[in-house]
Structure 1
Amino acid sequence: MTRHLTEITVVGEDDTGLIAEVTSLLFERSINIEDLDQAVREGVFRMTMHVDTDDMVCTQAKLREDLKELGEELGVDVQVRFPADRETQSIAVLVTKESHCLEAIFEAWASGDLGADVEVVIGNHSDLQPLAEAYDVPFHDIGDEKGTPDEDELLDVLAEYDTDLVVLARYMRILSPDVVFRYENRIINVHPSLLPSFPGASAYMQAIEEGVRIAGVTAHYVTTDLDQGPIITQRAFNVPDDATEEELQQIGQPLEAEALLEAIDLHLNDNVAVHRGRTELRDVDESEVQLGAPGELDDINPDRPIDGLGDFVAEQESEPEAEADD
């Protein structure tokens, strides 16, 4: 529904009348609101609208200017993305110290398989700056000596590069609502577990401590609830007996990169949409993607018995009733 609509995002300190002020401006310019969603978290207000601007009585430049001026009056940030703005997409990758996901993204980009440009790498440590420089991509270190990121600087960098998609390639920091709200459904993270199991830190160790036989990884959209955003892709693997955390990392990291790349591809090609907190595929053959376990698993898994349809029940139902004894 949203592919041919204009997206307007309003983010700022919560206050009364914000929705009315913005919607009134749109009404005056003959802009029809097709979808509106708003939320407040930790005092931060976010409103995302998808609107039809085909019959508006002003130019795109004028609408941007008017919304910017209104935002300044209300003390909020207003961003407008017309359909044409989303044709050429740019990616910002956020990292900490683990290189495997960033390396996979760069390899896909260099081979022409990514479908977008990696415009910038942003880290809360400088460890991966040499890898970014090897691909001639600007690197911004926004962390202090403890790795605490400066989110104002982060937002400035994302705005400078006009970022369409933010990819968390093992970025080991929680993003605040101020960042998440501005890029809602445009931030993809990869987590080393089969969410919703084992959210948070040390997911592989959590799997070991709980004694699971199957572990995995998940690529998902980021929300203000930690590791609870809409799931896009997952991969699973068997947990060896007496496995260490390092051994699970060696098994899981290639799958993390694979799941993340597929999620990025689905997003960039507009093949995945979020509806009521869940993702839905559109305009793609499900046989062409691997959202979860390999398809071969379906052939291995047994298909019977099923409650109420077992052979014994079926036989009993097919036998004629015995004649009652005299």
Structure 2
Amino acid sequence: MTREYTEITVVGDDKTGLIARVTTLLFERDINIEDLDQAVRDGVFRMTMHVDTAEMTTEKEELREALHDLGDDLDMDIQVRFPADRETRTIAVLVTKESHCLEALFEAWADGKLGAEISVIVGNHDDLEPLADHYGVDFHDIGDEKGNPDEAELLDILAEYDTDLIVLARYMRILSPNVVFRYEDRIINIHPSLLPAFPGAEAYRQAREEGVRIAGVTAHYVTTDLDQGPIITQRAFNVPAGASVDEIERRGQPLEAEALLEAVQLHLDSAISVYHGRTELRDDVDAEGYQFGLPGAVDDLLADRPVDGLGSVVSRSEE
């Protein structure tokens, strides 16, 4: 899309008649639907619409109230985000016990390089609460004694802090569709492999067992399919012969923090868009300001021959 549209998200139990009720409300207010996408996962229905509100015959707050009332009537959660609402820069960071990614985010924030406010840290353990306290950021522990998170509490916290972007900084739990659907394309995760290789919780161990020579990390948007969301940035590193899982992890952790931080920056800069399951750099963005993958200097080290077709060129020159 080349212009800014208002985003409406509908989430709740799957039932008939939902789409008609919402679209009728919009039609009655001269709001044109430009794009509509829907999905059902584990009994949870999600519909995301991008609509043109430039010529609507109602006020913004009246539309919010009407959609809220319709949501109550349907027992659905209906949220509307106007273009101006998306200028909000509030980040909720979800963590477990590893600190390196959270430290990188805090350092960038403290140096004024993040361009957003880290408003809350949410953990399924309390190990990183002292780090949050050091930076004066609220910390909420939503896990039980085994670290199982209370997602209802998580959603309440995200709403309370008016969260614009969720960052999973080594949050070792899978978010349910009930959360993902509400924040689609606004949740960024860091995964310790070069996705789509080695999804899941034991990526470094899988890399060791498969004997890879080059491993890496991936920052990506979260979807309801585990570790299959649109890739944003990646980093790679060599795996020495005989390296242990711990050594591979030590090499990967600094790159996890680096790739995650760049992905967050790309999102906050509105430098990328998601299209057909992959991220694309926006046309008006200068790619030179970002790394995305390996440093550019690596290109000079790559072999440039042989290349298919050179043989026919040689044959013709000898005729």
With normalisation by structure 1, the TM-score equals 0.96
1:6–1:80 CA contact under 8 A, matched in 2: yes
Secondary structure at the aligned position of 2:253 is classed as helix
Q: Report how far residue 6 of structure 1 moved.
A: 0.8
Question: How far is the alpha carbon of 1:110 from its aligned partner?
Answer: 0.3
Q: 1-side partners of 2:170 and 2:309: how far apart?
A: 46
Which residue is equivalent to 1:120?
Answer: 120
- Aligned in 2, Cα 1:180/1:2: closer, same or farther, shift over 3 Å? farther
Instruction: Give 2:307's aligned residue.
Output: 306
Separation in 2, partners of 1:165, 1:87: 11
Aligned-partner SS, 1:126: coil
User: SS in structure 1 opposite 2:274?
Assistant: strand
1:1-326 correspondence runs (5 A): 1=1, 4-282=4-282, 283-310=284-311, 313-320=312-319
Q: Distance in 1 between matches of 2:225 and 2:201?
A: 14
How far did residue 37 of structure 1 move?
0.7
**Deviation for aligned residue 1:153:** 0.2
Deviation at 1:308, TM superposition (A): 2.0
The 1:13/1:234 distance shift into structure 2, 3 A limit, reads same
Measured against aligned partners, the alpha-carbon deviations of 1:23-57 in whole angstroms (never above 9, x if no partner) come to 11001000111111110000000001111111111
Paired residue type of 2:300 = D
Larger displacement relative to structure 2 (288-297 or 169-178): 288-297
Q: Is the 8 A contact 1:37 1:49 kept in 2?
A: yes
Q: Equivalents in 1 of 2:156, 2:206: separation in Å?
A: 36
Aligned residues: 318
Deviations 1:165-195 (A, max 9, x none): 0000000000000000000000000000000
Structure 1 runs of 4+ with >4 Å offset: none
Q: 1:2 to 1:201 in 2, by over 3 A?
A: farther
Structure 1 residue identity aligned to 2:112: G
Q: Do the aligned partners of residues 106 and 191 (structure 1) sit closer, same or farther apart at CA in structure 2, a change above 3 Å counting?
A: same
Segment of structure 1 superposing worse, 298-307 or 35-44:
298-307
Amino acid at match of 2:191: H
Query: What's the secondary structure of 1:159's corresponding residue?
Result: helix
Calculate the TM-score normalised by the size of structure 2. Answer: 0.98
- Which sits farther off after the overlay, 285-294 or 117-126? 285-294
Q: CA deviation at 1:297?
A: 1.4
Measured after TM superposition, the shift of residue 3 of structure 1 is: 5.9
Shift of residue 284, structure 1, vs aligned partner = 1.8
Contact 1:30/1:57 (CA < 8 Å) preserved in 2?
A: yes
Q: How far does the alpha carbon of each residue in 1:98-119 deviate from its partner, in whole angstroms, 9 at most, with x for none?
A: 0000000000000000010000
Amino acid at match of 1:307: D
Match of 1:52, as an amino acid? D
Deviation at 1:315, TM superposition (A): 2.3
Cα deviation for residue 87 of structure 1 reads: 1.4
Q: Give 1:2 shift.
A: 7.0
**For 2:6 and 2:91, how far apart are their aligned partners in 1?**
20
On the 8 A contact 1:2/1:50 being kept in 2, the answer is: no
Deviations along 1:41-93, one digit per CA (max 9) or x if unpaired, are: 00000001111111111110000000001011111000111111111210000
Q: Return the letter of the residue paired with 1:291.
A: F
